[in-house]
Amino acid sequence: MPSLDPETRRAISDRIRYYNDLGIYDLYRQPVELLNSAPKIESEAAVTMPTASASRASAPPTVSSDPMVSLRQIREDLGDCTRCRLHKQGRKQIVFGVGNPRADLMFIGEAPGADEDEKGEPFVGRAGQLLTNMIKAMGLSREEVYIANIIKCRPPGNRTPERDECETCSPFLMRQIEVIGPKAIVALGAVAAKTLLAINAPMSELRGRWYDFRGTKLAVTYHPAFLLRDPRQKKETWKDLQMVMKELGLKAPEKAPA
């Protein structure tokens, strides 16, 4: 049997874990001839995963070593999601995530707000402007990193996401993280930190150090919306971002973001 490249191997194990999360454990290999005749394989490197059972998955899902293709697949799997109550509580659209599918650095916020719900892109409102400035201060651009949220639909009135909403939605974020394979993740604010790390502690204790998140380095810092309310914490946030820059080998510009 030919050996698989590490990216494809990772994509396949991600897909198997996803099936396991759904309670599906019996997976079967499909003959290569069938792969060649399968419709809609989006890149040369795409491979088809075995169906869990004929009734559950009549069209074999596709995983690919091209992260763009894999992200598109995750978006397709989300569909016009109705898995939690938020779909009927005024969301205009699903806010999937944006940026470089091969980003070294991923920022993960809480949930879309009104501006994000309107535009379909995370962090495009006032907090987003501050995040964009923070990214620029690190010597990067929004296009170079990947930005997503714990949940993909706007909660009514921008309330804090409920635990079950986070639990329902975050498996899709986990798949995005696996596909992108960042070197570092920055969790923005308590909801992101607590959901990803399953730790309940105040932000002042959570920030300022590295965590291991499924083999990836994860740092926690203040949410930009909080910084708009309490700009004194920008200094601490900048320290967190400098820690991230050091890890990624990014050269520190002279001054902190305004």
- Site for ligand URA contains 116 (CB under 6 A): yes
Residue type, 113: G
Q: Which of 48, 51, 62, 149 binds ligand URA (CB under 6 A)?
A: 149
Distance CA 207, CA 240 (A): 7
For residue 67, state whether it binds ligand URA (rule: CB under 6 A).
no
With CB under 6 A as the contact rule, which of the stretches 76-84, 104-112, 171-179, 202-210 interacts with ligand URA? 104-112
Among 97, 112, 161, 257, the residue binding ligand URA under the rule CB under 6 A is 112
Q: Which stretch binds ligand URA (CB under 6 A): 64-72, 97-105, 122-130, 176-184?
A: 122-130
Residue 195 binds ligand URA, judged by CB under 6 A: no
Q: Return the amino acid letter for 159.
A: R
Among 116-124, 174-182, 210-218, 247-255, which window interacts with ligand URA (CB under 6 A)?
116-124
- Whole-angstrom distance, CA of residue 118 vs CA of residue 109: 17
Nearest approach, Cβ of residue 75 and ligand URA (Å): 16
Write out the residues near ligand URA by the rule CB under 6 A: 109-113, 116, 122-123, 125, 127-128, 149, 225
